[in-house]
Structure formats: structure tokens, C-alpha cells
Amino acid sequence: MLLRSLLAGFVLGVVAILTFHQGAIGLMNAYGLVPNPPFRMQPVGPLGIPAVLNAAFWGGVWGIVIFLVTGKLRSDGLRILAALVIGAVGATAIGWFVVAPLKGLPMAQGWNVNAMWRAPLINGAFGLGCGLLAQGVATLFAVRR
């Protein structure tokens, strides 16, 4: 049962990245709010994999966290809200204070407020997507929530 939950959470996160996260980036890019378009294929990281695949993998990892944490909640509304908060706050905080320094970048976008607001919005869209899609993914993998 745990293996199914882990797999369901990973798939949940990947799907939420490819739909809600990249969709938010696409909308924001169309309105000139972010410089980069969605589904970027530019190589990133030490392995040189496309940026969207890197995001999908890490989205899968976050999807596991969201799936396991929200599965303990009794109400669908609370699950969606918790997923939104985990995405907007949790993923953003890890990105700002762990990932950025590891990559040699300034923490929290260098405290530039004009750049800081984007991450919680995009990651919040990802979390919202996880919350909305979780029950369907749980059903697909025969995991009780």
C-alpha cells in the first residue's frame, strides 16, 4: 500500500507540474509577468536534462509529500487548501533557502520583491493542482484517501 501511495504521489506531482505549474508560467509569460515560457527544453543541472523534465521530477517528489500529508485530512476542502499551502509556502521556502544557495544563487531572489512574488504564485498553482487531482490519482492507483 505504501508503494502505491508513493507512486501515486509521484505521478500526481508530475501531472500537476505539466498542467497547473507550466500553465501558470504560460499565462504569466503571455502577460509579460515572467520572462521564460513554459515547457523550457534548455538543459539544466549537472545532468543537462531539459528544464521541464527537471521540474517534473522534483514536482513528483513534492507530489509524494503532498499526497501523503493531505491523505490524512478528512475533508476534500482541507486537502486542497493544505496542498495549496504546501506548494505556495513549502516548495517556495525550500527553493529560496535550500536550492538557491546550493546553486550559488542569492536566497529569496536576493530579497527583490518584484521577483519574489512569482514563486509562491507558480508553486501555489502546482499545489492547487495536486489538491484538485489527488482523488482522481488515488482512484487510479487504488489508494484509499
Q: Is the pLDDT of residue 119 over 90?
A: yes
Closest by Cα among 29, 25, 53, 41 to 129: 25
Mean pLDDT of 46-61: 96
| Alpha carbon of residue 92 to chain centroid | 9
What is the percentage of the chain residues whose pLDDT exceeds 70? 100
Using 50, 70 and 90 to split pLDDT, how confident is the model at 8?
very high
User: Would the pTM of this model clear 0.75, i.e. be above it?
Assistant: yes
